Amino acid sequence: MTLRIHALYHVDFEELSYIKQWADRQGHSIAVTRFYKNDPLPAQDSFDWLIIMGGPMGIHDETDFQWLADEKAFIQQSIEEGKTVVGVCLGAQLIADSLGANVAPSGIKEVGWLPIQLTKHGLAHPLLKELPKDEFTVFHWHGDGFECPEGATPIATSQVWANQGFIYQTPKHKALGTWVLGWQCHFEVTKKSMVDMVAHGQPYIQEAMIEHPDSVQSADEIVELGDKYIEDNNAWLSTILDNLVKSGQ
């Protein structure tokens, strides 16, 4: 099954990364809207999957980023059309907002390689069946958080923020075999993309370490730990994406 994937980019240093490697191996096509370059949004009939990437802005920053209003409407329309929709960090927050959930500062920042745990619903979900059953380490970079949207399944939690991911499916989605999936964490980071994020986020890291020393790692620690954890994170993401493809066949 060959997919037409459309990705939404908010900044030039948070791209598909490993997701592109996975798509290229599978023969899927990729098109991109770069909001920071004022690219247009696509027609709904031109793609099968929508993947919404991260960024340093918040979902309520429409005064500074006027395209956010159009993006939110587009995400909501894509969900209503029954597309498979995947959100990463800011992308997950935008999906949650589109589904009517509250998104706001969580009160604590998580930045670096930190553990999460699947919920009992996450452990039982067919899309996540090959993920670790115990606590496992993923890459975080967020200060905002979302409530689990009404009708969605909460799939992961951490020590400092309860809602680390969700899966949503309406009866229409079920008939089509498609899902809406949001993760706070960044399974998709490669060594290059992680280094790029750290380079652009140095001031954020330094400030956040003072505020939240237990949940924010230094730039050097993030890069060093990446060598230990990136391969596993990419493998887990590959499994999730493979399961999403199978569900739609």
Looking at residue 172, its pLDDT comes to: 87
Burial (CB count within 10 angstroms: exposed 0-12, middle 13-18, buried 19+), residue 137: middle
- Specify whether the CB–CB gap between 234 and 209 falls below 8 A: no
Mean pLDDT, the chain, whole residue set: 96
Looking at residue 113, its pLDDT comes to: 98
d(C-alpha 97, C-alpha 72), whole Å:
8
The per-residue pLDDT for range 202-238, each reduced to its tens digit, is: 999 999 999 999 999 999 999 999 999 999 999 999 9
CATH domain 4-247 topology: Rossmann fold (3.40.50)
Looking at residue 248, its pLDDT comes to: 86
248: alpha, beta or left? (left if phi > 0; alpha if psi -120 to 50): alpha
Enumerate residue ranges in the chain where pLDDT < 50.
none
Could you tell me how many residues make up the chain?
249
d(C-alpha 221, C-alpha 165), whole Å:
25
DSSP-derived secondary structure letter, 53 = -
d(C-alpha 177, C-alpha 248), whole Å:
4
Residue/partner pairs of 174-177 with CB below 8 Å, 24 or more apart: 176/82, 176/248, 177/247, 177/248, 177/249
Would you report the helix, strand and coil content of the chain in percent, each value rounded to 5?
40, 25, 35
The domain limits of the chain are 4-247
Q: Do the strands 153-157 and 165-168 form a parallel or antiparallel pair, or are they unpaired?
A: antiparallel
Looking at residue 7, its pLDDT comes to: 98
